[in-house]
Amino acid sequence: MKMAYTTRMLKLYNTLSRSVEEFKPLKDDQVSLYACGMTVYDNAHIGHAKKYIGDDILVRVLRWDGYEVTHAMNVTDVGHLVSDEDTGEDKMEKGARKYDMSVWDVAHKFEGQFWDSMDAVGNDRPDVLMHATDYIPEQIALIQTLEKKGYTYQIEDGIYFDTSKFPHYFDLSRQDPEKLKAGARVEFVEGKKNVSDFALWKFSPKTEKREMEWESPWGVGFPGWHIECSAMSMDAFGPRLDIHTGGIDHIAIHHTDEIAQSEAATGEKFVNYWVHHNFLLVDGQKMSKSLGNVYSVQDVIAKGFDPLSLRYLFLTGHYRQEMNFTWESLEAAQTAYKKLIAHVRSLQQEPTEAVSAEKEESYEQQFIDSVNDDLNTAKAIATMWDMLKSDLPAGEKITALSMMDSILGLQIFKKAEEHEEVLIPQEVLDLLQEREAFRKAGDFTASDEMRAKISDLGFDVIDSKTGSQLKKK
Ligand SMILES: [Zn+2]
């Protein structure tokens, strides 16, 4: 049920302007949203979960506000290099060596793990899913357009984008080109004209055969990483889109390069709102293999946690703030999450009264205002608890909770049901089974006696065509 809220008032921080702006889509009711997806060469970790939960919340808020959202996401299943400077190892081949599999199998395996993680933390799947390997011709075509317009040059290593020809190159990152030059790394690709120039197409090494390589007008090789997002988002939405999301680590290079390629090719403004998610630290440190603190959603489950309490934990922070994960913080989140489910269960057992919905609406309005205020989920959760602690009648609390959870996606009603099944005493379940046997045998007197016994234990038996169910009184 949707109330008469003041809707469509989303305020969103735009990295491009470094300020919170009122969101206005290109088309009245429609929102195009492109999210940079995973490079599927290793396990997704809880830092990824945080980022995609943030995207999921944004989509849910937009939908609540009445927009028709198309959420597109790419999967980077083509090799690109470990370093942002177009040097170093190929990520997919690194994964293939590590797991002793073909690059294609590695991509398949870790994409599966990624979706398992996303489903477990309650994220809705994107509407449009694009794999980089399915869009090689589109990427080549885009590079050809850039070549025709004079933005590219060829060196021994590949085709590069000349960033000095694109005057707005530093608009998103606000980097100082002079400082960038001074800090240039030793591993600078030979022949590159500017430090910030980046590969559009890389040639396969002459001495080795790559598992993933394609023919192109310039020679056998593989696309640079950035070009796939420009080519695929254009395929999904055309030259312009409303929102593009990613991690803050993508601002300086990946997204900056996406803008350069896209706008140089089309002459139009590529993205109106850039949304960036901040990092997750673990025990106060950056996640790293050497520290042994890279945890996956599967690790969280293996330790006995409900992955949705991880979602709860992330929603108590803000997507633009760095968050520090500790097992203690997850423990606390799980306790709160369980309390929430217990509230749902006890509210459902209270009688519903018809009272004016004014108060309930004011909590809901507060909640909606918070999530529309640059996705302030922490404040929204605080409002949810205030509402639960208020003197509103049970029925109204349930109505408000169900609206709130449609945005938070914590699945508390589903969990309350699951939880309730577990709480039916074995004695009651045995009696129900006996009753079924009497019913099948046509002994309705004995069957009714069983029903009475079950009733004495606090449960109603509800018969339907598909069988009998128990409901707590
Ligand atoms: Zn991307």
Q: The tokens of 2 are what?
A: 């949707």
Rounded to two decimals, the pTM is 0.85
> What is the Cα–Cα distance from 61 to 58, expressed in whole angstroms?
5
Of 184, 188, 189, nearest in space to 202 by CA: 189
For residue 82, report the distance from its CA to the centre of ligand 1, in Å.
15
- Cα dihedral sign for 338, 341, 345, 347? positive
Angle subtended at Cα 440 by Cα 435 and Cα 444, rounded to the nearest 5 degrees: 60
pLDDT tens digits for 155-174?
999 999 999 999 999 999 99
Quick check: 161 and 260 in contact, CB under 8 A?
yes
> What is the Cα–Cα distance from 411 to 341, expressed in whole angstroms?
9
For residue 83, report the distance from its CA to the centre of ligand 1, in Å.
15
For residue 230, report the distance from its CA to the centre of ligand 1, in Å.
8
Full DSSP string of 178-231: HHHHHT--TTPPTT-SSTT-EEEEEEPPTTS--SS-B--TT-SEEE-HHHHHHH
For residue 227, report the distance from its CA to the centre of ligand 1, in Å.
8
> What is the Cα–Cα distance from 326 to 281, expressed in whole angstroms?
9
Stretch 115-140: mean pLDDT, rounded?
96
pLDDT at 344: 95
Which segments within 309-432 are labelled E, that is strand? 323-325
For residue 280, report the distance from its CA to the centre of ligand 1, in Å.
19
Angle subtended at Cα 256 by Cα 254 and Cα 260, rounded to the nearest 5 degrees: 115
For residue 79, report the distance from its CA to the centre of ligand 1, in Å.
14
Of 403, 408, 398, 462, nearest in space to 435 by CA: 462
For residue 442, report the distance from its CA to the centre of ligand 1, in Å.
65
For residue 226, report the distance from its CA to the centre of ligand 1, in Å.
6
For residue 117, report the distance from its CA to the centre of ligand 1, in Å.
20
pLDDT tens digits for 228-243?
999 999 999 999 999 9
pLDDT at 2: 45
Q: The tokens of 117 are what?
A: 């993680």
Quick check: 298 and 305 in contact, CB under 8 A?
no
For residue 39, report the distance from its CA to the centre of ligand 1, in Å.
10
pLDDT at 4: 45
For residue 473, report the distance from its CA to the centre of ligand 1, in Å.
53
Pairing of strands 280-282, 271-277: unpaired
Q: The tokens of 433 are what?
A: 């089974």
pLDDT tens digits for 316-352?
999 999 999 999 999 999 999 999 999 999 998 887 6
> What is the Cα–Cα distance from 346 to 412, expressed in whole angstroms?
13
For residue 469, report the distance from its CA to the centre of ligand 1, in Å.
49
For residue 248, report the distance from its CA to the centre of ligand 1, in Å.
12
For residue 339, report the distance from its CA to the centre of ligand 1, in Å.
38
pLDDT tens digits for 380-398?
999 999 999 999 999 999 9
Contacts of 149 (CB under 8 A, 6+ apart): 264, 265
